[in-house]
Amino acid sequence: MRAVLLVQVGKPLENAKVPTPEIGPSDVLVRVAAAGICHSDVHYRNGISKIDNLPVTLGHEVAGRVEEVGSKLTHISVRDRVCVHYLVHCRTCEFCVRGLEQFCRSGQMIGKHRDGGYAEFINVPGANVVLLPDEIPFEAGAIMMCSSATAFHSLNKARFKAGEVIAIFGFGGLGFSALQLARAYNCGDAYVVEINPAKLALAATMGAIAIDARAADPVEQIKDATAGRGVDVALELIGSAKTIRQAVLCLGPLGRTALVGLTAESMSIHPYPELINKEVAIIGVSDHLAAELPALIEFARSGKLRFPPETLRVIDLDAAQINAALDALQDSIDHVRTVIVPSSDK
């Protein structure tokens, strides 16, 4: 089968012909119909996130059709439409038994620790496939498995409730899902903080109040707009000390900020006025949980979470096209999600 491999860190991905995986009795072979290209893949290629077991097929946002089912599995059939939960976990360690598989002692990420979806086929444990309803296109199903799932997890970690006012810092793939999900939860006002005019305009068309961080301090703008009160929940999806601090400062009493964006920077907090006095919480968010996927899929099935065609770019399973998409993500010029749809004629 065709696959696109990371052979050497710091080098472009390479086209390869590799054996089609052989599945075990508890595994499923999925014919990849769509594989999302994620910012994490940029970090794998450039070595910011370390991968030891090279070469590896990248791609952790995967949807497709079941091609072959292991003999022990009964919950899934050939031809089923599925998407793939990217964390393969042991189900027996102290975290897995509590449904906290993102801390699994022996967890493996698909498309990093084991071969992923930049290929014609992928072999995954049967426990990692989730049925994808006919109403959801494969491209959306793939993207949902990472950016939407993480956005959903951040809302859950922030204990977001109907009617609450939210501020979303950063309107890339995560923010695009987070805003739709907050609205699906019947949020109060939703503020989107960005510096990119196109993203601000898009957020406004989706019902958000656009906060242009270039125009004035976004905290001041949010405080002004909320009569000094601030927001209930702030999601930080950018990963910079400056915006993390803004996400804390824009909270009102009992507010929660969920930190999703990654940064190596430090930031300072003045505990008494900024945290203690308001009883606000700063919450770290890592990955998402398999248990969250059914609710997420239902939001998409019912049309509350959508990825209109103009927000997606489709490319072939081809190293040159994938490398170009990763370059665009690296330079932060990509405003849409790029999805690999393998052509069937090669």
Residues lying near Zn ion in the complex (CB under 5 A) are found at: 38, 40, 89-90, 93, 96, 104, 146
Residue (200 or 235) nearer to Zn ion, CB: 235
Q: How far is the CB of 212 from Zn ion (least distance, A)?
A: 28
Output 77 or 92, the one with its CB closest to Zn ion. 92
| Shortest spacing between CB 90 and Zn ion, in angstroms | 4
Choose between 26 and 186: whose C-beta lies nearer to Zn ion: 26
**Distance in Å, CB of 172 to Zn ion, minimum:** 11
Q: CA 11 to CA 14: how far, in whole Å?
A: 9
Two structure tokens written together for 225: 């707009």
The residue assigned the tokens 């086209």 is 15
Q: Which is nearer to Zn ion, 59 or 255 (CB)?
A: 59
Minimum CB–partner distance for residue 40 and Zn ion (Å): 5
3-state secondary structure 4-64: EEECCCCCCCEEEECCCCCCCCCEEEEEEEEEECCHHHHHHHHCCCCCCCCCEECCCEEEE
Q: 167 vs 329, which CB is nearer to Zn ion?
A: 329
What Å distances lie between residue 150 and 56, 147, 271, 317, CA to CA? 24, 5, 28, 25
CA 171 – CA 190 distance, rounded (Å): 12
Instruction: Give min distance, CB of 92 to Zn ion, in A.
Output: 6
**Nearest CA to 146 among 172, 165, 119?**
172
Q: Which residue minimizes CB distance to Zn ion?
A: 38
Residue type, 324: A
Q: Which is nearer to Zn ion, 206 or 290 (CB)?
A: 290
Q: Which amino acid belongs to residue 296?
A: L
Q: How far is the CB of 95 from Zn ion (least distance, A)?
A: 6
CB of 152 to Zn ion, least distance (A): 14
Q: Is the Cβ of residue 40 or residue 246 nearer to Zn ion in the bound state?
A: 40
Tokens 């609205």 correspond to what residue?
A: 183
CA distances from 130 to 12, 70, 180, 262, 286 (A): 31, 15, 22, 28, 21
Report CA-CA distances (Å) from 68 to 22, 26, 227: 10, 11, 58
